[in-house]
Amino acid sequence: MKNFVKYTSIALLLSIPLFTIAQTFEQNSQTKNNPKLLNNENGLSIGLGAENVMQYLPQLKGKKVGLVSNQTGIVRKTLRKNPSDYEYNNTNHTVDLLIGNGINVVKLYSPEHGFRGDADAGAKVKSGVDAKTNLPIISLYGDNKKPKANQIADVDVLVFDMQDVGVRFYTYISTLHYVLEAAAENGKKVIVLDRPNPNGHYVDGPVMKNEYKSFVGMHNVPIVYGMTIGEYALMINGEGWLANGVKADLEIIPLTNYIHQSKYSLPVKPSPNLPNAHAINLYPSTCLFEGTNVNEGRGTDIQFQVYGSPFLKNMPFQYTPTSKPGATSPKFKDQVCYGEDLSDAPYQSAINLKWLINAYKNNTKQPFWTMNGKKLWIDQLSGTDELRKQIEAGLSESEIKATWQKDLEAFKKIRAKYLIYKD
C-alpha cells in the first residue's frame, strides 16, 4: 500500500483457516436487531491481527516487549476447521500468547478502565502489577496519558492490541496517539495488531474543530470515522498529527477476510458500559446524552440502549439507575427516570439525532446541557458548538446533517489514503 508504512501482505497471512465465531460477550447480543458475529462478502470469517502470529512473533524474538492492551486483547487458543469445535470461551489474552511463545514481555500498559477493564469511565486508573503475570502495569490514563521516556526506556518494541469501537470520543484512539508519539520521540517501534471496527460500516457526524481538542477528541475527524484501529494508526502517523510532526516506526498486522461492511460482534465487553453489540451500535448516537441532564443508561444492564431523566415529560417508559460495576455513581442514581427504551431500535448505519432532539424538546428542567469543568460537555463530545446551537435553534435532523457534508467529504479524502480494507 503506502510506501511510508510497513504491513504484511494478505497473501502471507496465517495459513490455518479461520471460521465462524460462535458466541458474543453477552447473550442479549443475539437479537434480531444485531448483526451476525462475523460476515463478509465471501462468507468467510475474520482473522484477527493478533492471530496472524507468523507475521509478528519472529520480529519479537530476542526483543524486550511492552504490550499496550486491556481485556479486549484476546485470541483463540485453537483454530479448527469445524466451526462448532471452537468458541471464544477458549481464549488466551495476547500477553499469555506472547509469553507462551517465548517472547520477553517486560511491561504492560493500560488505557481508561484499566488492564482488566473494570474501572468506571473517567476513574483514575493506578499503575501496579498484573496479578496473573506479575508484570508491572503502567496506567495510560489520568495524569499519565502519554508514556514517559523512562517508562519505555527498557522496551525495544511496543505492541498495541486493543479493540476500538470506531467512535471519536472513545478514548482508546487517544491512547494510541500518545503511544505512537512517545515511541517516535524515543526511537521505539510500534506494532499494531489490527481488530475489526464494529461501527466501521459508515462515516458520519460533525468533524471536530481545533478549539475542542481534548482526550475525547484529539483529531479533526467525524464522530464515526469508518476505519479499523490499524488504519487509524496509519492516518495519525501519516498526516503528521503527532507532536512536532514526528513519525513512528509503525507496522500494522492486518485482518484477513475483512471489509468495512463486515458485521462484527465483540467477544468481550470493550469497556464496562458497552455490554453487547446493540449498545455498541447505538453508542455513537446515545453517548451524546452524556453532555446533557439525561441519563444514558449507566446504572442499568442496558447501557446506551435507554435514555431518561426525572425531567422528561410525555415519556411513558421508566427505569431507575442504581450503582453498578463500572458505574458506581450514575446520573440520577436511585431516581425514577422517564424516557425511551431503544432495545428494539433497528441496526444503525448513521448517527441518529432524533433521540437527542426529542429529549431536548421534552426537557422540563434547565440547564439541559451539562458542564465538564469550564466547558460544555456536549461541545467536547460533538467536537463543535454548532450541534448544540442547531438543536437550540430548532433545526431538524436532516437540516443539521446537511451542514456536516462538506467537512465529511474532505475527511473522506484523507481517510482514503490510509485504508487497508475495502468499503
In a domain? residue 421: no
Domain boundary among 241, 270, 299: 270
> What mean pLDDT is predicted for residues 123-147?
81
Last residue of a domain, one of 270, 288, 320: 270
* pLDDT higher than threshold 80 for residue 112: no
Per the CB < 8 A criterion, the answer to whether 190 and 158 are in contact is: yes
C-beta separation of 75 from 255 below 8 A: no
Whether 284 is in a domain gets the answer yes
Band the pLDDT of 17: cuts 50, 70, 90.
Answer: very low
Residues 66 and 162 in one domain: yes
User: What confidence score (pLDDT) does residue 66 get?
Assistant: 98
Is 26 within 8 Å of 88 (Cβ atoms)?
Answer: no
CA distance 97 to 363: 51
Question: Which is higher by pLDDT, 75 or 298?
Answer: 298
Give the residue, 99 or 77, on which the prediction is more confident.
99
Bigger pLDDT: 136 or 15?
Answer: 136
pLDDT at position 247, please? 97
Judge if 237 and 364 occupy the same domain.
no
Chain-wide mean pLDDT for the chain? 86
The yes-or-no verdict on residue 90 having pLDDT over 70 is no
Judgement on whether residues 375 and 257 belong to the same structural domain of the protein = no
pLDDT(139) > 60 = yes
Model confidence at 249: pLDDT above 80: yes
Q: How confident is the model at residue 264 (pLDDT cuts 50, 70, 90)?
A: confident
Domain membership flag for residue 400: no
Residue 194: burial class (beta carbons within 10 Å; 0-12, 13-18, 19+): buried
State pLDDT tens for residues 370-410.
999 889 999 999 999 999 999 999 999 999 999 999 999 99
Are 255 and 337 contained in the same domain?
Answer: no
Count of other CB atoms within 10 angstroms of residue 246? 14
Quote the pTM value.
0.87
pLDDT for residue 224: 98
- With a cut of 70, say whether residue 277 has pLDDT above it: yes
- Asked whether residue 125 carries a pLDDT value surpassing 80, the answer given is no
Q: Is the pLDDT of residue 38 over 50?
A: no
Statement to judge: residues 94 and 116 lie in one domain: yes
- In three-state secondary structure terms, 396 is coil
Q: Are residues 79 and 192 in the same domain?
A: yes
Residue 137 in domain: yes
Contact 7, 251 (CB under 8 A): yes
Position 39 confidence tier, pLDDT thresholds 50, 70, 90: very low
Q: How confident is the model at residue 12 (pLDDT cuts 50, 70, 90)?
A: very low
Q: Which residue has the higher pLDDT, 254 or 38?
A: 254
Domain membership of residue 420 (yes or no) is: no
Angle, helices 229-238/172-186, rounded to nearest 10 degrees: 50
Task: Specify the range with the lowest mean pLDDT, choosing from 80-94, 222-236, 319-333.
Answer: 80-94
Of residues 362 and 74, the one with the higher pLDDT is 362
Q: Are residues 384 and 295 in the same domain?
A: yes
* CATH number of the domain encompassing residue 184: 3.40.50.12170
Percentage of residues in the chain having pLDDT higher than 70: 83
The answer for residues whose C-beta is within 8 angstroms of residue 168's C-beta and 6 or more apart is: 205, 208, 216, 217, 219, 221, 222, 223, 224, 225, 383
pLDDT of residue 114: 61
Query: Which residues span the domain enclosing 91?
Result: 6-270
Determine the pLDDT at residue 43.
53
**How far is residue 217 CA from its own chain's centroid?**
12
Residues 264 and 282 occupy one common structural domain: no
Provide the number of structural domains found in the chain.
Answer: 2
Q: Domain for residue 79, yes or no? A: yes
Q: Per-residue pLDDT for 2 more than 80?
A: no
**Given this model, what pLDDT does residue 126 score?**
58
| CA gap 274, 112 in Å, rounded | 14
The pLDDT of residue 4 is above 70? no
Q: Is residue 397 part of a domain?
A: no
Task: Over range 294-315, report the average pLDDT.
Answer: 97
Q: Which of 129-138, 143-152, 339-348 has the lowest mean pLDDT?
A: 129-138
Q: State the Cα–Cα distance between residues 170 and 353, nearest whole angstrom.
A: 18
Do 189 and 88 share a domain, yes or no? Answer: yes
- Interval 178-205: pLDDT, tens: 999 999 999 999 999 999 999 999 999 9
pLDDT at 78: 58
**Within a domain: 408:** no
Confidence class for position 265, pLDDT limits 50, 70, 90: confident
Q: Check whether residue 32 and residue 118 sit in a common domain.
A: yes
Query: 44 by DSSP, 3-state: which?
Result: coil
Report yes or no: 124 and 131 within 8 Å, Cβ to Cβ: no
User: Both 154 and 126 in a single domain?
Assistant: yes
pLDDT in the model for residue 75: 87
Residues 80 and 227 in one domain: yes
Nearest to 216 by CA among 63, 365, 381: 381
Residue where a domain terminates, one of 237, 254, 270: 270
